[in-house]
Structure 1
Amino acid sequence: MNIHKKFFSKIGFNYLILAISSLIIQIIVINVVGMTNRSLLNNFNILTILSAICNYVLPFPIIYFLMKKLEKQNLKKENISVKTFLFYLSVTFTLMWLGNIIGLGITTAIGGIFHTDISNPVQNLINSSDIWLNLLLISIIGPIFEEIFFRKLLVDRTIKYGARVSIILSAVIFGFFHGNLSQFFYAFLLGGFFAYVYIKTGKIIYTIILHIIVNLMGSVVSLFVAESAQALLSNTFTATNLVIVLIYLAIILLAFLVGIIGLRRYKKAKFNGSKTQISLKNPIKTMLLNPGMVCFILFFIGEIIYSLIR
Structure 2
Amino acid sequence: MNNNYYNPQNNQYYQQQNAQYIMMQRQIAYAKKQQRSELVKVGFVLGGAIILYLFLQVFWASMMNTLGLSDLYNNSTMFKYAFNIVAVDLLAMFPAFGIAALILKRNFTSEFFPAKKVGKLKATAWVFLGMGFTILANYFVSFMMTFVKNVLGYELTQNEFGTSNDLLTCIVMVAATVFAPAIFEEFAFRCCALGALKKYGKGFAVFMVSIIFGLVHGNVIQFVFAFLVGLILAYITVQTDNVIIAMVIHALNNGRSAVNDIVTTATDEKTANIVAVVIMIILGVLAVVSLVYLLITKSFKAEKKIKSLYDNNFATKLACMIPGLIVPFGILIALTKQYITKI
Bucket of the pairwise TM-score, normalised by the shorter protein? 0.7 to 0.9
How much is the aligned-residue C-alpha RMSD, in angstroms?
3.6
Q: Any conservation in 1 of the 2:125–2:294 contact (CA below 8 Å)?
A: no
Instruction: Provide, for residues 80-127 of structure 1, a one-character-per-residue CA deviation record: whole Å limited to 9, x for no partner.
Output: 122212221222222211111121122222233564543233xx3374
Structure-2 separation of matches of 1:116 and 1:40: 30
Q: What does 1:61-80 align with in structure 2 at a 5 Å threshold?
A: 61-70=95-104, 71=106, 72-75=108-111, 78-80=116-118
**Mapping for residues 129-144 of structure 1, pairs under 5 Å:** 130-144=169-183
1:230 aligns with 2:266: no
Change (3 A) 1:201 1:175: same
Corresponding position: 1:94 with 2:125: no
- Aligned 8 A contact 1:103 1:184 in 2: no
1:103 counterpart residue number = 141
Where does residue 50 of structure 2 map in the other structure? 16
SS of equivalent to 2:157: coil
TM-score normalised to structure 1 length: 0.79
Q: Which moved more, 1:9-18 or 1:270-279?
A: 270-279
2:83 aligns to what? 50
Residue 282 of structure 1 aligns with an amino acid whose one-letter code is N
Change (3 A) 1:159 1:276: farther
Deviation at 1:186, TM superposition (A): 2.7
Maintained 8 Å contact 1:103/1:186: yes
How far off is 1:68 after superposition?
A: 0.6
| Equivalent in the alignment of 1:287 | 318
State the shift of 1:215 in Å.
1.5
What residue number does 2:254 align with? 215
Corresponding position of 1:236: none
Q: Is the 8 A contact 1:102 1:185 kept in 2?
A: no
Whole-angstrom CA distance in 2 between matches of 1:188 and 1:148: 16
Q: Tell me which residue corresponds to 1:83.
A: 121
TM-score between both structures, scaled by the size of structure 2: 0.73
Partner residue in 1 for 2:207: 168
Shift of 1:161: 0.9
Change (3 A) 1:24 1:230: closer
Q: How far did 1:160 drift?
A: 0.6
Q: Kindly state the Cα deviation for residue 159 of structure 1 after the two structures are TM-superposed.
A: 0.9
State the Cα distance separating 1:38 from its structure 2 match: 3.7
Distance 2:221 2:276 in 1: 25
* 1:125 alignment partner, SS class: coil
After alignment, is 247-256 or 89-98 more displaced? 247-256
- In 2, Cα distance between the equivalents of 1:83 and 1:22? 40
With over 3 angstroms needed to count, the CA separation of the structure-2 counterparts of 1:188 and 1:262, relative to structure 1, is farther
- For residues 62-93 of structure 1, what are the alpha-carbon distances to aligned partners after superposition, in whole Å with 9 as ceiling and x for unaligned? 33123211122224753112221222122222
| 1:119-134 matched pairs, under 5 angstroms | 119-121=157-159, 124-125=160-161, 127=163, 130-134=169-173
Looking at structure 1, the residues matched to 244 and 272 of structure 2 have their Cα atoms a distance apart, in angstroms, of 38
Q: 1:185 to 1:223 in 2, by over 3 A?
A: farther
Alpha-carbon shift at residue 178 of structure 1 (Å): 1.3
Which has the higher Rg, Structure 1 or Structure 2? Answer: 2
Quote the Cα distance in structure 1 between the aligned partners of 2:249 and 2:202.
20
Q: 1:5 aligned to 27, 36, 39, which one?
A: 39
2:216 alignment partner, one of 146, 168, 177: 177
Q: Return the alpha-carbon distance in structure 2 between the equivalents of residues 220 and 28 of structure 1.
A: 32
TM-fit CA distance, 1:228: 7.3
Query: Are residues 178 and 263 of structure 1, via their aligned partners in 2, closer, same or farther at CA, if it must alter by over 3 Å?
Result: farther
Give 1:172 shift: 0.8
- Give identity over the alignment, percent: 16
1:176 to partner: Cα distance: 2.3
